[in-house]
Amino acid sequence: MEIHLRQELERAALNIQTGNHCGAENIVRELQAIQDPHASGFLLNFLTSSAEGVVSDGMIYVHFTALRLLRAYITRDAHIRGAGAKSVLAAVTHYANVSAARFLTASWRCVLSETAINTALLIKLSCADVDGGFNASLSSAALSELLLELRGEGSGLPPVFINHVALHAIEEFGLYHPASRGRGVSLKFHRACRAAFETDCLAHLLHIFLHTIATGSTQSSLSAATLIECISSVLSWSHHSFFGEDSPDDECVHTYRVSGTLWNEMLLNGISFPGGLVRIDELLWQWYSKGQVCGVAVERRRIVEMIRQFCSILVEPCELTEKIKYGRNLLLLASVVSRDILTNATQNEDARPSLSIAVSCISNMVENLAEVFSDVEAADFLLLELKSLTKGMIELDIHYPDDENIMAALDEALSCLFKVTQTKFCSNSCTCAVVLDVINTFLSVKLSHSHSCDDAGHFSDVFASSHITLIAHMGRIDAERVADILCTTLRNLHEQHSSLLKGETGLRAMSVHENLWVVLKLTRAFIADDCAGEDMYIPSCFSALHLSDSHPVMKVIAQSMGLLQDITQHLSLASPAVVSALLELLGTFISVYVSCNVEEEKALSHGGATIVSCAFSALSAFNFDQDVTAAVCGVLGACLRSECLRISLHTSGILQTAESLVDARHQYCETVRGQIAAFWIACLPLEVVAAQAPHILSPFDIHTTEFTSLDVSMCLERCSSLSGLLLGLVGNARLTTCFATVVALSDRILSVSGTRFYEKELAIRSAELITQLFIAYAPILQGEQLAWLIERVVATLHVVSQALREDASWSTSAAEDEKQRMLKQLSSLLSEISQWRIMEPNLDQEMARSVGSCVISVLASLLCLFDERALGFPDLKDSVFQAFQLCAEAFTSELVSFSNSQVFLSTLLFTLSSDAIDTQRVGATVTHIVGTFIQQLSTENSDLFHALLRTILQGILSGRLYHTLCPQLAQCLLVLCSCLPPERADRVLQEAAAQCTSAHLSVTLQLVITNALNCANCSGRERQTAFRNLLELVEESLFSAKSALLV
């Protein structure tokens, strides 16, 4: 065996040298399967004897591979714990002593790292008792020995080696990497080790590292570089506080709370050395300004990141005066570093990535040390520093509009500045002055440097939408003066635009158009928040003011109205981007200030006709520009929210224009024609709608029941128009009045279209139409009308489902786009139907069964088409899995009784093995819904329970399930085991155990099933206790499954 091991190690090393890393990995995995308990001892003897002799560089990768293999044996061997780990640790440290000189050479660094990882792992395993549990006294002794070695008071291990051991010990005890969360030990042991390390060791390590650097006592450049990594690793401790990787790191703001005498002394007083004390901020500035640590060159970005980490630390408890002193020193450091990077960013492209990090140092302080700015002087200093940085980055961003690093830094600066302006710490005069200065700088710089592209209708989005929003919202601090600035700017641009109407074109015209677009976007964000899908509201700074001509919002709207009317008269020379921005602004104004303010409706409604008239003119000029058409539809929708405005529009004559636009001779993209018709109908008095609806909607009729005599393009257009009509009238009382007309039109178009669903676009448009029909009418219909709707939905779904099953071309690469759209549309419709069914529990049983059977059948067809390529579209994936969950909840009986249950079981297994927690939650929820339903039926269905239990266990074995799903998984296991005979449960367990690569995981799964069966037979408090035990075991099984994959 020894000869075989050595030969295989040499073969793996040769593979690495020749670049065949996969081959080397396969050899190592084969060697890991060796079960000989003496294998680890042979490896240690081989490494030591080899190191004591003459070792050529050709042996580097043999040692490297042997050390990796040794770690696998250590992890697997339950005897290498406690005292057993100590003996192995002694052998590894002896090997390190022998190899110390080689470790200083660059070629042996990989061996140094592997040796240090194994040493750190053995230190951790030496904290275990004979049963594998955590032993506090052993842990204290092991960590004390590590600290003694770092202080040079131990056995004299080489400094370069012990520094690497310290680095990996932090990562090993802190569970920084997935591999460190395995190691063949329990989750409880890992948690206890992390807690002990944080309490007994972490602050001491940081103090040792900082003291070593402050005194300049490092012996090599490698040691200095390692110490920097160690400090950064200590400061990253809080980023790795989550078990099961349930919570992502927040790189912008992450508070690290610390306490204790040593933390206080280090952070508040400084680091002692023979010459006295040196503060942390002074030490960091020395490193940054010189670009060196102990004479070793260090990338300045590393130091900036370290400054940010120190700015995230929150000492508790701490006297306010000490906190203010510490915070001011760090604030000054962060400001100086930010300014330095900003100054060099123009000439030094490599400095730009550090800019957002430096600004985030200040953001972290605002988040974590808010008390520092309770003093007005300190707060004003912060505000002025942020102003200076923000102005500098605005100017820099203009010259480098495509630089993502500068964009990110500006976003960080604006976010921080906005946050500070919302506090009460700064003086009001200072805040207002800063806001006005930043806005003036933005407008001055932006309007003097345009970045128009070659297409006159579209502009380079030089400033991200988040930048414009933040600047606009800051402007509300001094709304009166900012409104005046915007009015003046719009007036000047209006004058420039008027000069263009004399025939001036080219770059000058594009520059004016771009500037108008930017200012209009800024103005829209200034007057109202963008609340997609929610009701808009008047910002508080404007709500207390009467909407007179002197109101800040009315000033900018009046200026915008003049610009709109001027542009409308010369649409042939207009930019569609400017037109859409104007209409978005005015549509937002109507939604917020007219529709939401009953008292002001009458006074403001007279301008609505003018805006709608201009919108219709723009639509005629740019009928296929999607931005313009969307803005026009937004204006129409906003107008319909105001009763006074609808009455005003009815009497204004604007409906005649709407009538001409609805006429079939005009062409528009997608649903625009239908939304214009909806606007027309909504503006009519309710009592005349029934009589006029047939006339208004006559252009939507195909006037035939024979598809052979119908143009496909016309059929597509009618489907979209009817969808737009329903979209525009959702929630309107006129929907019921128009029902008969809509029924007739929809019946004809859907009946004819259904015969030609091999036209994929027609199938998609029909699905869109039936979806809008259902959304609009399902909540308001009853009796025969509802029966017609359900019949039509079921019929359309059957035809669509049949087309998907029987037409193989849906699965070809050529039809990929159409397939994605159809899947998205169908999943949306299934979700709507399921939500409606959940809200209508008293639905007629025959109707419920009919729609339920159809929905589940279509769901099965949809899931069969949902292949790996479709998973690459996140929106589609979320939509499909949401439909799966809602369908299971609404139509559980139909899903359980569906003939082809395998498609649903396969989907469940996929969701439980997914990398996304939302997808996993769908699988767990559906499993629980189905299991609970069958349990309540009290019928024998062992096969389905067997399949569901096997699916859950396979999900656990995948090693991907998130820790937060433990309660849900425990409930599922409890339900399934309570309904499954013990022998069937045992059979499922044996199937799962056969797939286990870890003995610990196999034992844990056995305990899970045993406890689930036990819990099912308990009641009262015994059941609660048993369930808590089950929950802990499920948690351990998830952790063990992840660990088994990482050995």
pLDDT of residue 534: 59
pLDDT of residue 93: 94
Question: What distance in Å separates the CA atoms of residue 89 and residue 83, rounded to the nearest whole number?
Answer: 10
| Res 472 pLDDT > 90 | yes
- Cβ 40 vs Cβ 73: under 8 Å: yes
Helices 352-368, 320-344: axis angle to 10 degrees equals: 160
| Res 535 pLDDT > 50 | yes
Single out the residue of 129, 276, 255 nearest to residue 211, CA to CA.
276
What is the Cα Rg of the chain in Å?
35
Burial of 503 (0-12, 13-18, 19+ CB in 10 A): exposed
pLDDT of residue 246: 45
For residues 506 and 195, which has the higher predicted lDDT (pLDDT)? 195
pLDDT of residue 251: 44
Please state the separation of Cα 769 from the chain's center in Å.
32
Mean pLDDT of 941-955: 85
Question: What distance in Å separates the CA atoms of residue 634 and residue 614, rounded to the nearest whole number?
Answer: 13
pLDDT of residue 454: 41
Domain-by-domain residue ranges, the chain?
250-426, 919-1047
DSSP run (H or E) holding 807: none
Q: SS3 of 538, please?
A: coil
User: pLDDT tens, 68-118?
Assistant: 999 989 988 888 999 999 999 999 999 999 998 888 888 999 999 999 999
Single out the residue of 1008, 1013, 890 nearest to residue 957, CA to CA.
1008
Mean pLDDT of 563-573: 91
pLDDT of residue 616: 94
pLDDT of residue 245: 45
Task: Quickly count: other Cβ atoms within 10 Å of residue 816's Cβ.
Answer: 13
Mean pLDDT of 17-25: 89
| Res 36 pLDDT > 80 | yes
Percent of the chain with pLDDT over 90: 44
User: pLDDT tens, 620-679?
Assistant: 999 888 999 999 999 999 888 888 888 888 888 899 999 999 986 777 878 999 999 999
- Cβ 160 vs Cβ 154: under 8 Å: no
Token look-up 């003939």 returns 899
Mean pLDDT of 830-837: 96
Question: What distance in Å separates the CA atoms of residue 63 and residue 98, rounded to the nearest whole number?
Answer: 13
Band (960; pLDDT cuts 50, 70, 90):
confident
Token look-up 């005599």 returns 709
| Res 596 pLDDT > 70 | no
Q: What type of residue is 1041?
A: A
User: pLDDT tens, 208-244?
Assistant: 999 888 887 666 777 888 899 999 999 999 888 656 4
Question: What distance in Å separates the CA atoms of residue 752 and residue 186, rounded to the nearest whole number?
Answer: 65
Band (598; pLDDT cuts 50, 70, 90):
low
Angle at 978 between CA 975 and CA 979, to 5 degrees: 95
pLDDT of residue 423: 80
pLDDT of residue 599: 55
pLDDT of residue 602: 56
Band (460; pLDDT cuts 50, 70, 90):
very low
- Cβ 644 vs Cβ 604: under 8 Å: no
pTM: 0.84
Mean pLDDT of 286-291: 92
Cα–Cα distances in Å, from 767 out to 276, 668, 903, 945? 78, 20, 23, 35
Mean pLDDT of 868-892: 91
Q: What is the dihedral of CA 712, 716, 722, 724, to 10 degrees?
A: -160
| Res 836 pLDDT > 90 | yes
pLDDT of residue 295: 79
The DSSP code sequence of 977-1007 is HHHS-HHHHHHHHHHHHTT-S-HHHHHHHHH
Q: Which of 248-252, 790-794, 1035-1039 has the lowest mean pLDDT?
A: 248-252
| Res 605 pLDDT > 80 | no
Single out the residue of 988, 992, 1008, 995 nearest to residue 1045, CA to CA.
995
Average pLDDT score, the chain:
87
Percent of the chain with pLDDT over 70: 93
Q: Which of 53-57, 381-385, 880-884, 962-966 has the lowest mean pLDDT?
A: 53-57
Q: SS3 of 314, please?
A: strand
Q: What type of residue is 575?
A: S
DSSP run (H or E) holding 253: none
pLDDT of residue 1004: 84
Mean pLDDT of 436-443: 94
Mean pLDDT of 522-529: 93
**Contacts of 803 by beta carbon, 8 Å cutoff, 6+ apart:** 757, 758, 763, 810
User: pLDDT tens, 668-691?
Assistant: 878 999 999 999 999 999 999 999
Q: SS3 of 68, please?
A: helix
| Res 247 pLDDT > 90 | no
pLDDT of residue 249: 44
Token couple for 628:
């313009």
Q: SS3 of 63, please?
A: helix
**Contacts of 290 by beta carbon, 8 Å cutoff, 6+ apart:** none
Question: What distance in Å separates the CA atoms of residue 267 and residue 659, rounded to the nearest whole number?
Answer: 74
| Res 457 pLDDT > 60 | no
User: pLDDT tens, 198-213?
Assistant: 999 999 999 999 988 8
For residues 927 and 464, which has the higher predicted lDDT (pLDDT)? 927
User: pLDDT tens, 481-499?
Assistant: 999 999 999 999 999 988 8
pLDDT of residue 601: 56
Q: Which of 128-137, 346-355, 948-957, 995-1004 has the lowest mean pLDDT?
A: 995-1004
pLDDT of residue 456: 45
| Res 54 pLDDT > 80 | no
